[in-house]
Structure 1
């Protein structure tokens, strides 16, 4: 167990309980999305991607793809594909998942 709880705890789609990420993949809870608070994850699973698009976000211009639950189709957040700003490159390949769309299961 890590200091923040069970690293194998799973985050699941709130709508259908499909597992989408592990606690050990959570990088930050300090993000905002459409519904409010969002989490940055290094990996996500059981998702499908929407089309690639350019989006102007608070910290700059990004190429992203929306992500959806592979079981029920619920929109969960997005994947960063490309960051225009050098200081934001660390986000590339990572996932934003909205807190309101997931549940944590121990």
Structure 2
């Protein structure tokens, strides 16, 4: 296996909760109205620093889809899934897009970031 290169993103980013590897940018959010087994998830146009698992058919809330789990290349944690094929014509926009589960990632507006921002503001 070759060396893994990590892409560093700039701006408002979402990262792996376990190792802080950058995964995507806020501007790549397509939808915030997705659900996963354990709560809320976001659909992203582009995600980096991931590896994919095997393709499998899953019956999701919007019908049958061929998906692959996606894993952080930094620590190997499962962070969501990627749509390979949507079997319903109304769901084709999801193909090639990724869903990240919010409980597995940290984002630009998480409580720790807000606390740091507030402390920085008070120190000025």
- Compute the TM-score of the two structures, normalised by the length of structure 2: 0.77
Unpaired stretches in structure 1, ≥5 consecutive residues: 1-6
**Structure 2 unaligned runs (5+)?**
1-9, 114-124
Supply the RMSD in Å over aligned alpha carbons. Answer: 1.3
Q: How many residues were matched structurally?
A: 100
Q: Specify which structure has the higher proportion of strand.
A: 1
Q: Is the 8 A contact 1:49 1:65 kept in 2?
A: yes
Structure 1 residue 28: deviation in Å?
Answer: 1.0
Deviations 1:22-63 (A, max 9, x none): 111111110001221000000100000000111110110000
Q: List structure 1 runs of 4+ shifted beyond 4 angstroms.
A: none
Greater helix content: 2
Partner residue of 1:56?
59
- Compare relative contact order (CA 8 Å, sep 6+) and give the higher one, 1 or 2: 1
Residues in 1 aligned to 2:19 and 2:75: alpha-carbon distance in whole angstroms: 6
- Is structure 2 residue 31 aligned with structure 1 residue 35? no
TM-score normalised according to structure 1 size: 0.90
